Structure 1
Amino acid sequence: MRLRLLTAAVMMGLAPVAASNTLDAYLSKDTAQFTFITDSAAIGFGGADLSFGVFFNDDSDYMLTTGLNVVGVPAGEQPLTFGVGGKAYFGFIDTPDDRFQSVALGGEVRYTIPANMPMYLAAEAYYGPRVTTFGDARDLLDASVRYELEVTPGARGFIGYRYLEADMDRRRDYKMDEHVHFGVRFNF
């Protein structure tokens, strides 16, 4: 419980850092994730998205993430955007009492569906191999897909699926998330 409160306090403290911020939250039957996204100008490197997140599940597993992602639109008037970047993961597995850290590289692709009400299909994946994963884990895979619907210019609702797995020393292929989730994304 203290970890949840500490993370929420840190994320709220970061809110006034930049003018364009995003809060992304999702819930499933067994998991929850809250992510704060801001412009990387807050750390002196503009033009990228800087994210801070907390994930937890009903097995009392927790994970903190931070990432840097650069997003761009290809030349021409295409409905696709692409992003590449990296994330650092800090995981705390309850049973058995395991800890891990991973530096993962990956990216995202987003397709804007042409319609009167803006809609999007998005997919992202990050992989941390054995060489950049430490502690009680050997590697990490984090992949998700989602369908987003913009209900107002500053708010989107979404439904998605996330597959989050760490290859642990004691438990091979430990799945922390493998669920359909519902969420909201607020831009402020």
Structure 2
Amino acid sequence: MRMARLIAAALLAGAATTVQAAGVEAYLSNKTAQLTFTGDASGIGLPGAEMSFGLFYGDDKDYMGSFGLHAAGTPAGDMPLTFGLGGRIYVGSTDRPDQNFQALALGGEVRYTIPANMPMAIAADIHFAPSVTSFGDADQLVDVGVRYELEVTPGVSGFLGYRELTLDLDRDSSYKVDKHVHFGVRFRF
């Protein structure tokens, strides 16, 4: 537990010095909450990429911090699709079972913008950390999400989504950190 706190503090300090907030996103479900700060990664020499720092809490006393770096773009042609690739570092602890985990996951996302008067989108993302990049009590991590977004005003979007974050733990068990429908809001500055 102490090592996880030290790593989380290091991630928080690193993210605070490099991410100049360009957006804030919060989501809630019946059992979980997450707050994510996003910013431009040009400060670390990666123009066009986005960094994110997230804090997660589950009412089973599950805690997690994440730090991500992703780049996205549209394929050739005039398509309403956007694809993104990147990675995310996860650091956290679960209460039952009492486990600490760290993982380096690679993944991507796809977003389809629905052509309409009020901007809407459907997005899905997946991140995967195999055993070679999962540490602590984790042998593997899979984070999958899907959401429907609606831009209510320029810079403010609401969304409804589903996330499933699963850990394979050292004790040959699978633990779902998050498996809930959630709703949230995103502010872009």
Alignment of 1:68-107 (within 5 A): 68-107=69-108
Aligned to 1:116: 117
* Equivalent-residue separation in structure 2 for 1:33 and 1:155 (angstroms): 17
Read off the aligned partner of 2:132 and give its amino acid letter. Answer: V
Aligned to 2:159: 158
Q: TM-score, normalised by structure 1?
A: 0.90
Post-superposition shift, 1:42? 2.4
* Equivalent-residue separation in structure 2 for 1:132 and 1:154 (angstroms): 36
Q: CA RMSD in A?
A: 2.1
Residue 15 and residue 23 in structure 1: after superposition, are their counterparts in 2 closer, same or farther (change >3 A)?
A: farther
Residue 22 and residue 181 in structure 1: after superposition, are their counterparts in 2 closer, same or farther (change >3 A)?
A: same
Post-superposition shift, 1:41? 1.4
Read off the aligned partner of 1:139 and give its amino acid letter. Answer: Q
Residue 16 and residue 64 in structure 1: after superposition, are their counterparts in 2 closer, same or farther (change >3 A)?
A: closer
Q: CA offsets per residue over residues 59-113 of structure 1, 9 Å max, x none?
A: 0000100010000011111000000000000011112321111000000000000
Read off the aligned partner of 2:59 and give its amino acid letter. Answer: D
Alignment of 1:12-161 (within 5 A): 14=16, 18=20, 21-161=22-162
- Partners of 1:15 and 1:21 within 8 A in 2: no
Aligned to 1:182: 183
Q: CA offsets per residue over residues 99-157 of structure 1, 9 Å max, x none?
A: 11100000000000010000000000000001100110100000000000000011000
* Equivalent-residue separation in structure 1 for 2:187 and 2:17 (angstroms): 12
Read off the aligned partner of 1:158 and give its amino acid letter. Answer: F
Secondary structure of 1:32 counterpart? strand
* Equivalent-residue separation in structure 1 for 2:146 and 2:126 (angstroms): 9
Secondary structure of 1:143 counterpart? strand
Q: TM-score, normalised by structure 2?
A: 0.89
Residue 144 and residue 17 in structure 1: after superposition, are their counterparts in 2 closer, same or farther (change >3 A)?
A: closer
Q: Aligned pair count?
A: 180
- Partners of 2:19 and 2:51 within 8 A in 1: no
Secondary structure of 2:173 counterpart? coil
* Equivalent-residue separation in structure 1 for 2:27 and 2:70 (angstroms): 20
* Equivalent-residue separation in structure 1 for 2:142 and 2:166 (angstroms): 5
* Equivalent-residue separation in structure 2 for 1:59 and 1:42 (angstroms): 37
Report percent identity of matched pairs.
57
Post-superposition shift, 1:43? 2.1
Note the residue ranges of structure 1 that are not aligned, 5 or more in a row. none
Read off the aligned partner of 2:138 and give its amino acid letter. Answer: A
Post-superposition shift, 1:15? 9.4
Read off the aligned partner of 2:68 and give its amino acid letter. Answer: G
- Partners of 2:86 and 2:106 within 8 A in 1: yes
Post-superposition shift, 1:45? 2.2
